[in-house]
Amino acid sequence: MRGTVLYGPRDVRIDERPDPSIVDPTDAVIRIGSFAASDNTCPHCRAGYQTSCTQRQWVVGAQAPFLRVPLADGTLVATPAPPTANQVPDFLAVSDVLGTGWFAADAANVKPGATVVVVGDGAVGLLGVLSAKQMGAERLIAISRHEARQKLARESGRRTSSPNVAMKAWRVSRS
């Protein structure tokens, strides 16, 4: 199987890799995956901080057609049926950037009626804004440098600002 291998800074190659296989009883072999696996049972995982899992294992070969996932019983979420080809991009977004955006809003303790400022308008930032809205935030401000992303944020009911304008407003509020 061919897969992407990171050898070092600026050294990314596509090489032949061995097909993944089950090594431990908690493993799974899947077509897509993340870069770290957690057991979802340690104190950190139970508190919602799977990135600090005491049993975390790095997943290697994630940029390949198939992947061995250690601790699959804690890392993967079963679906009622395999996703369709049309659903795969949505599953990727939900399993990666949406989870990060939701975690950011949750860690910021977003509550109904809150004002939330999100610095950054990439995929994680925009999904952080949507997560904060879902949690009940009333005023959402996205700090953005990109005209097209500012437009997207405004069209979905968010205020936008450039980093320079945001810093000026912050300085005025502090004086």
- The residues of the chain that CATH labels 3.40.50.720 are 80-175
Does domain 1-78 sit in CATH 3.90.180.10? yes
> pLDDT (tens digit, 9 = 90+) per residue, 87-143?
877 877 777 788 888 888 998 999 999 998 888 888 888 888 889 989 999 888 888
Cα separation, 121 vs 159, in Å, equals 12
The SS3 call for residue 105 is helix
Return residue ranges of the chain for CATH 3.90.180.10.
Answer: 1-78
Q: Which CATH class is domain 80-175?
A: alpha beta
pLDDT at 166: 52
DSSP bridge partners of 58: 36
Least confident of 2-11, 97-106, 141-150, 166-175: 166-175
Which residue in 77, 80, 64, 48 sits closest to 6, CA to CA?
64
Taking residues 139-164, report their average pLDDT: 71
